[in-house]
Amino acid sequence: MRQSKFIGVFVALLLAASCGGPKWQDAVNPLTYTDIPDNDVIRVGEDYYMVSTTMYFCPGAPIMHSKDLVHWRIVNYVYDCLEDDDVYNLRGGANAYGKGQWATSLRYHDGLYYALFIANDQRKTYVYRTDDIEKGKWTRSVIDFPMHDATMLFEDGRLYSLWGNGDLRLTELEPDGSALKKGGVDTVIISAPRKGYMLRAEGAHIYHIGDWYYVLEIDWPAGGVRTETCWRSRSLLGPYESKVVLQGAFDSRPDGVAQGAIVDTPAGDWYAIMFQDHGAVGRIPTIQPVEWVDGWPIMGDGGVPMKTVRVNLPASGEDYVWDSDEFDSRELALVWQWNHKPADSLWSLSERPGWMRLHAGILADGIMTARNTLTQRTVGPKSVAEVKLDISALKPGDRAGICAFQSNNIAVGAEVASDGSKSVVLRRSGREAKDEEVYRHELEGDTLWLRLNYVFTPSEGEEADTVTACWSEDGKNWSDCGFTLKMLYTLDLFTGYRTALYCYPTSVEGGGYADFDFFHQRVLN
């Protein structure tokens, strides 16, 4: 049985024979030590669904399912690829890094699931609909108008989008979300204070609960931390009053816990799923209890984030937002995403069963311009990612291996010289270098093991957010590449570090191919 990989989630009481087990669990934040930002969560019956931001990755907008708000599994994606243009095909120097799908709003209404988000590279708003959120295909409408960090509200047969930064505007859509409503509501309902803030009223989520309309959003006071603020009114159009409902951090980090959703359980308990910036690994999800105090949703312990949270739902399900992969399936596992739109003719799980074959088909000058780069989330506090490759079919100019993928990165893999000789090479690129070779060793055979060692939260004497690489020709005796990269979470990509599998040509269009036998990822104590 695969070990649970979410850090800090455990059942605090022994199983009671008479009652069939505990009806609650203690969740230790973060829920998972990996990049799942801009959370929106809904409940449909006894099922919970969460969506997150994945920007330029394809497929995009992952849908995660849970029965207990603690254990989450990717079950679907909203779309395969946002557009089929130069940007998403990495053509002509164009790319979508740091752009694409942002801060999706997820809702359920009259038998349909809705997902709405902005793609700021396209300057458009996308609305997707499906009747089967776990296995169905989504149909889409495109609104030629950008609504930043939008949230949806269905009300009396009408559909509204609340969006913006600082000034939050309520804009009415057609009831199916297909277009702006002609003559519909379009007005600013909240104007947050400007003085003393670095960030005002962003990442809004709107709810109608009881007699009140609630808007949750993030503020960032100058000299303070990211803060969750709630606005409320008995009328949709206002006026609204505000109150800070969550402010602070945990794990000795300077970053505040904020931006996300609130959701109730069938028994009437309320919880907030919010994220916290956690350095190079990305923005990690947390759970906080919600107590209604004088009609305000106060989160955590009186408005302060909690490390350990009692969740009044029995533990259920297995975590699945990252995983190892033996590549035994004929379909790509849901934990994988391509760096941009893949060229489907250049990868296969069937040409050599039990292996992932990546063809070196489209010229690239480095990892950031390479098509068909296959990525998966890294995980903290410490972890190891390992692959085994057959490099016998690579041709001169081809490169294949694994990469710690962000704008400041290292890639370690096999490279073929013009005379056909093969070497293991470590390259770095980013702020301090562009595709700089820092290590090389000639190989004797055609089988290669590669390993990346991640440290996000250090032990004594270690440095946070570092990665090293090593290699082997037999899977037993390993050689270190002798270089440590300081990983940086940069806004030009705006995502946490991924481990990427790559194969691309640098000299001849349509090179050879590399076969990956497995991808193993494990958390270290």
Q: What percent of the chain has pLDDT over 90?
A: 89
Query: Which tokens sit at 422?
Result: 């093969």
pLDDT at 193 over 90: no
Strands ordered across the beta sheet of 270-277: 257-264, 270-277, 283-293, 296-299
Q: What pLDDT does 120 receive?
A: 84
Mean local confidence (pLDDT), 217-224: 93
pTM, 2 dp: 0.94
Least confident of 2-6, 44-48, 443-447: 2-6
CA–CA separation, 328 vs 12, rounded Å?
36
User: Residue 21: which pLDDT band, with cuts at 50, 70 and 90?
Assistant: low
From first CA to last CA, the distance across the chain in angstroms is: 19
CA–CA separation, 151 vs 147, rounded Å?
9
CA–CA separation, 421 vs 414, rounded Å?
10
How many C-alpha atoms does 466 have within 13 Å on its Cβ side?
A: 10
Torsion angle, alpha carbons of 342, 321, 106, 142, to 10? 0
Instruction: Say which amino acid occupies 38.
Output: D
Integer-rounded Cα Rg, in Å, for the chain is: 24
Mean local confidence (pLDDT), 110-129: 96
**Residue 480, SS3 per DSSP:** strand
pLDDT in tens, 340-358: 999 999 999 999 999 999 9
Q: Output phi, psi for 369, to 5 deg.
A: -110, 5
CA–CA separation, 117 vs 107, rounded Å?
12
Question: Which of the four CATH numbers 3.40.50.300, 2.115.10.20, 3.40.50.720, 2.40.170.20 does domain 34-268 have?
Answer: 2.115.10.20
Q: What pLDDT does 3 receive?
A: 40
Residue 196 CA: distances (Å) to CA of 88, 273, 370:
39, 27, 43
Class of residue 344 by CB neighbours under 10 A (exposed 0-12, middle 13-18, buried 19+): exposed
pLDDT in tens, 95-115: 999 999 999 999 999 999 999
pLDDT at 174 over 50: yes
User: Residue 20: which pLDDT band, with cuts at 50, 70 and 90?
Assistant: low
Q: Are 150 and 118 in contact (CB under 8 A)?
A: yes
Torsion angle, alpha carbons of 175, 266, 320, 136, to 10? -30
pLDDT in tens, 285-298: 999 999 999 999 99
Residue 114 CA: distances (Å) to CA of 30, 36, 203, 270, 335:
27, 20, 18, 22, 22
Task: Give residue for tokens 């009259």.
Answer: 110
Q: What pLDDT does 15 receive?
A: 37
pLDDT at 8 over 60: no
CA–CA separation, 514 vs 372, rounded Å?
12
**Residue 27, SS3 per DSSP:** strand
pLDDT at 5 over 70: no
pLDDT at 308 over 50: yes
Query: Which tokens sit at 383?
Result: 């972890």
pLDDT at 140 over 80: yes
Q: What percent of the chain has pLDDT over 70?
A: 96
Average pLDDT taken over every residue of the chain? 94
pLDDT in tens, 489-514: 999 999 999 999 999 999 988 889 99
CA–CA separation, 331 vs 321, rounded Å?
17
pLDDT at 260 over 80: yes
pLDDT in tens, 402-420: 999 999 999 999 999 999 9
Q: What pLDDT does 511 receive?
A: 86
CATH 2.60.120.200 fits 337-524, yes or no: yes
Query: Which tokens sit at 171?
Result: 């804009």
pLDDT at 4 over 80: no
Q: Are 118 and 146 in contact (CB under 8 A)?
A: yes
Beta bridge partners of 250: none
Give residue limits of the domains in the chain.
34-268, 337-524
Mean local confidence (pLDDT), 243-269: 95
Residue 141: CB partners within 8 Å, gap ≥ 6? Answer: 126, 127, 128, 129, 176, 177, 178, 179
pLDDT at 44 over 80: yes
**Residue 281, SS3 per DSSP:** helix
The count of other CB atoms within 10 Å of the CB of residue 462 is 10
Choose among 214, 207, 160: nearest CA to 187: 160
pLDDT at 259 over 70: yes
pLDDT at 381 over 60: yes
Cα 33-337-113 angle, rounded to 5 deg = 85
pLDDT at 19 over 70: no
Residue 155 CA: distances (Å) to CA of 87, 209, 234:
37, 12, 14
